[in-house]
């Protein structure tokens, strides 16, 4: 009995699931996690908050996650309130809910590939057709070509990703404005890496008041170092939050998750203290790869995409053989590495040098 023997939906036949390797390696720089463990005082606060919930686990959690959404709105600022914010188990779930509400059979989503690989996978899972928009050779997206792609495909949902995974490229707000102006559908700006952006990089949060079709998604998985807690959220017009109520599972966000996230948000300053250190390592990786003559895509995220590798799969394997796991995102000649601690950067650069030497010897 194999998967193919099941009466699975036709469009899922032969498809691969999302599957970044989870390997037991000395240095894991492949899924853009925050390399710094949660600091002791925050661990204590999370444990105390979770403990306080434990005896009440016989009851369902607050279905609206009201207190958490208030805290998230307070963190985002921009005059946002609980009514403008929705939270779920990772921004992946938020994105799925958005597609359940605004995509679906007979509808189309447009994204600017290469971008976050889950966007088309979530489209597939929700029965939404997917179309690729164009990026320039340097992986940037400009307002004119984005608008032209929207005109051509007339999508119900547009995904913009800024800073973009896997390229690290941030978008100008002119692109967001142009896509909103040209489209009749929802425009989702995935800002999972916003906290790592270089000074002066704009957030689409500043445009929320201007159009009720704009949605900005964020996560606590990256800058907040809480990937394991699974907490993502969106900011949008309250009507968008109302729309999501039609598709969300009841009690989707456990009381333990809500409590842990609130405890972490009460320590925002401590948790985000690692962001500057990670940005330093990102900029160091960019500089070091440049010294090695490898083309590097400028990054506003906690990772770097670099090219000039020829058979990137073989280079990826050799780097892994030296104990460092980075990411082959399927772009010929390119690999992506997450910026972590200084020691992890040292290990990555040493493994890369060894891998490139071996390549030269072949």
Ligand X SMILES: Cc1ncc(COP(=O)(O)O)c(C=O)c1O
Phi and psi at residue 29, to the nearest 5°: -125, 50
Q: Choose, by CB under 6 A, the member of 84, 232, 258, 267 that binds ligand X.
A: 232
Provide CB contacts within 8 A for 219, sequence distance 6+: 90, 91, 192, 231, 232, 233
β-pair partners for 337:
304
How are beta strands 335-338 and 303-306 bridged, if at all?
antiparallel
Q: How far is the CB of 358 from ligand X (least distance, A)?
A: 30
Q: How far is the CB of 291 from ligand X (least distance, A)?
A: 27
**Secondary structure of 67-117 as H, E, C letters:** HHHHHHHHHHCCCCCHHHEEEECHHHHHHHHHHHHHCCCCCEEEEECCCCC
By CB under 6 A, the count of residues binding ligand X is: 13
Give me the 198-227 binding string for ligand X, x by CB under 6 A, dash otherwise. Answer: ---------------------x-x-----x
Q: Which residues in 305-344 contact ligand X (CB under 6 A)?
A: none
Q: How far is the CB of 117 from ligand X (least distance, A)?
A: 8
- Which residue, 170 or 355, is less far from ligand X as judged by CB? 170
Q: How far is the CB of 59 from ligand X (least distance, A)?
A: 26
- Which residue, 61 or 114, is less far from ligand X as judged by CB? 114
Nearest to 166 by CA among 259, 303, 40: 303
**Per CB under 6 A, does 96 bind ligand X?**
no
Give me the 43-82 binding string for ligand X, x by CB under 6 A, dash otherwise. Answer: ----------------------------------------
* Terminal C-alpha separation, the chain: 43
Q: Which stretch binds ligand X (CB under 6 A): 86-94, 124-132, 206-214, 347-355?
A: 86-94
Q: Which two tokens stand for residue 288?
A: 């070091």
| Alpha carbon distance 244, 353 (integer Å) | 48
**Per CB under 6 A, does 85 bind ligand X?**
no
Q: Which stretch binds ligand X (CB under 6 A): 87-95, 103-111, 262-270, 311-319?
A: 87-95
Q: How far is the CB of 191 from ligand X (least distance, A)?
A: 8
Give, as one character, the DSSP assignment of residue 6: S
Would you say 157 and 103 are in contact if contact means Cβ atoms under 8 Å apart? Answer: yes
Q: Which two tokens stand for residue 321?
A: 């053989």
Helix (H) / strand (E) element for 130: namely strand 129-133
Q: Which stretch binds ligand X (CB under 6 A): 4-12, 84-92, 176-184, 289-297?
A: 84-92
- Which residue, 37 or 209, is less far from ligand X as judged by CB? 37
Give me the 153-182 binding string for ligand X, x by CB under 6 A, dash otherwise. Answer: --------x---x-----------------
**Per CB under 6 A, does 299 bind ligand X?**
no
Would you say 263 and 46 are in contact if contact means Cβ atoms under 8 Å apart? Answer: yes
Q: Which stretch binds ligand X (CB under 6 A): 55-63, 75-83, 89-97, 198-206?
A: 89-97
Q: Which two tokens stand for residue 203?
A: 């957030």
Would you say 139 and 145 are in contact if contact means Cβ atoms under 8 Å apart? Answer: no
Contact residues: ligand X, CB under 6 A = 32, 90-92, 116, 161, 165, 190, 192, 219, 221, 227, 232
């Amino acid at each position: 009995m194999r998967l193919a023997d099941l009466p699975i939906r036709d469009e899922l036949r032969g498809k691969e699931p999302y599957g970044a390797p989870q390997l037991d390696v000395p240095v894991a720089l492949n899924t853009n996690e925050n390399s710094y463990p949660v600091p002791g005082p925050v661990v204590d606060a999370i444990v105390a908050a979770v403990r306080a919930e434990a005896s009440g686990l016989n009851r369902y959690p607050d279905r609206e996650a009201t207190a958490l959404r208030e805290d998230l709105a307070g963190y985002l600022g921009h005059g946002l309130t609980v009514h403008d914010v929705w939270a779920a188990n990772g921004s992946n779930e938020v994105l799925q809910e958005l597609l359940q509400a605004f995509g679906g059979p007979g509808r189309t989503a447009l994204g600017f590939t290469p971008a976050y690989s889950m966007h088309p996978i979530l489209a597939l899972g929700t029965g939404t057709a997917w179309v690729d928009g164009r990026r320039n050779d340097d992986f940037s997206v400009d307002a004119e070509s984005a608008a032209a792609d929207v005109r051509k495909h007339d999508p119900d949902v547009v995904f913009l990703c800024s800073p973009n995974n896997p390229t690290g490229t941030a978008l100008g707000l002119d692109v967001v404005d142009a896509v909103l102006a040209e489209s009749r559908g929802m425009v989702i700006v995935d800002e999972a890496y916003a906290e790592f952006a270089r000074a002066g990089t704009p957030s689409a949060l500043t445009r929320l008041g201007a159009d009720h079709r704009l949605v900005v998604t964020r996560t606590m998985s990256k800058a907040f170092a809480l990937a394991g807690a699974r907490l993502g959220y969106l900011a949008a017009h309250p009507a968008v939050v109302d729309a999501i109520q039609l598709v969300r599972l009841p009690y989707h966000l456990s009381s333990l998750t809500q409590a842990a996230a609130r405890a972490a948000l009460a320590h925002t300053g401590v948790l985000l203290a690692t962001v500057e250190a990670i940005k330093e390592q990102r900029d160091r990786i960019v500089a070091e790869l440049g010294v090695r003559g490898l083309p590097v895509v400028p990054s506003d995220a906690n990772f770097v995409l670099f090219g000039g590798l020829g058979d990137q799969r073989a280079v990826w394997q050799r780097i892994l053989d030296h104990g460092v796991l980075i990411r082959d995102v399927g772009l010929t000649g390119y690999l992506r590495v997450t910026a972590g601690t200084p020691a992890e950067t040292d290990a990555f650069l040493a493994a890369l040098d060894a891998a490139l030497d071996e390549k030269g010897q072949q």
